[in-house]
Amino acid sequence: MTDPFGARLAAAVAGRGPLCVGIDPHRELLGAWGLADDVEGLRRFTDAVVGALAGTVAVLKPQSAFYERHGARGLLVLEDAVAAARAAGALVLLDAKRGDIGSTMAGYADVLADGHPMQVDALTVSPYLGPGSLEPAVRTARAHGGGLFVLARTSNPDAGTFQHARLDDGRTVAQAVVDTVGTWNGDDDGGGDGGWGPRTGSFGVVVGATLAELDVDLAGLRGPVLAPGLGAQGGTPGDLRRLFGADRAVVPTVSRDVLGAGPDPAGLRAAAERWAAELAG
């Protein structure tokens, strides 16, 4: 990948809109589609979603856990899906929330590297072993044009237990995560002003779309925000505007509200198009 992830993401959003669709083939959804909870059902589900959406949405976000639970054959389904989605023009964000130190973190980050059999465009990571734990992933992303989305201010009910904890300097842990990611998007690395454009940073944070209020300062981030929670979890396009304003680079994520329209490909496309229209409105 020659261009940095942030620039490629901005170009994809300009051409296709900002919608990110999660691919979450959990057993209940497979059953709702009339599919068995096995590798064949997993493949049929995944092929249908990728075939219906990869040519039109900006980002597809497969959840690694739902493939890992099927063992090596499940991961092969994921590997094939990543290649097919990227060939159709979608960026692939692997939702794996990796977090470790040293060579282990470097091993996780190799999924961003050229030549990896399942190379993706970006990866979600967890920062709670400290900022230094993510340096191997940052290095790999920079070397290969990949991106990272770091958990910062999530909207699950007890997230504040850790994310609102205070450091000695008075900042919350969530704010320290945002500030750290902002340093990775420095001017030398192409980080812009936090909006969409060719200088959009390649390193972003995860901030829930269903927060009652935005309690972190994103002014210094200079990269994108991944905002999960639209649709079945209660988030709306109005929440995105309320939390982030109109000018910030935000990637809103929808899963169940699109996937529930399957297995008919036309239904999947129509659901994605409806969300894209609402986000553009």
Question: Peptide bond preceding 157: is omega within 30 degrees of 0, i.e. cis?
Answer: no
Give CA–CA dist 264/129, Å, rounded.
43
The residue extents of the domains of the chain are 5-280
pLDDT of residue 281: 76
Give CA–CA dist 134/108, Å, rounded.
11
Give CA–CA dist 183/179, Å, rounded.
7
pLDDT of residue 189: 55
pLDDT of residue 200: 95
Contact between 222 and 196 under an 8 Å Cβ cutoff? The reply is: no
Q: Which one of 3.90.550.10, 3.40.47.10, 3.10.20.600, 3.20.20.70 gives the CATH number of domain 5-280?
A: 3.20.20.70
pLDDT of residue 1: 65
Contact between 250 and 19 under an 8 Å Cβ cutoff? The reply is: no
User: How distant is the alpha carbon of residue 132 from its chain centre?
Assistant: 21
Q: Which of 97, 171, 256, 274 is catalytic?
A: 97
According to DSSP, the residues that pair with 230 across neighbouring strands are: 235
From the CB of residue 50, how many other CB atoms can be counted at a distance below 10 Å?
Answer: 24
pLDDT tens column, 244-279: 998 999 999 999 999 999 999 999 999 999 999 999
pLDDT of residue 104: 97
pLDDT of residue 30: 98
Tokens of residue 256, six digits: 């169940």
Give the pTM.
Answer: 0.96
Tokens of residue 45, six digits: 């589900």
Dihedral, CA atoms, 256, 259, 261, 262, nearest 10 degrees? Answer: -150
Find the helix packing angle between 135-144 and 102-109, rounded to 10°: 30
Annotated catalytic, 97? Answer: yes
Query: For each of the chain's 281 residues, which pLDDT tens digit applies?
Result: 679 999 999 999 999 999 999 999 999 999 999 999 999 999 999 999 999 999 999 999 999 999 999 999 999 999 999 999 999 999 999 999 999 999 999 999 999 999 999 999 999 999 999 999 999 999 999 999 999 999 999 989 899 999 999 999 999 999 999 999 999 998 545 567 889 998 999 999 999 999 999 999 999 999 999 999 998 888 999 999 999 998 999 999 999 999 999 999 999 999 999 999 999 87
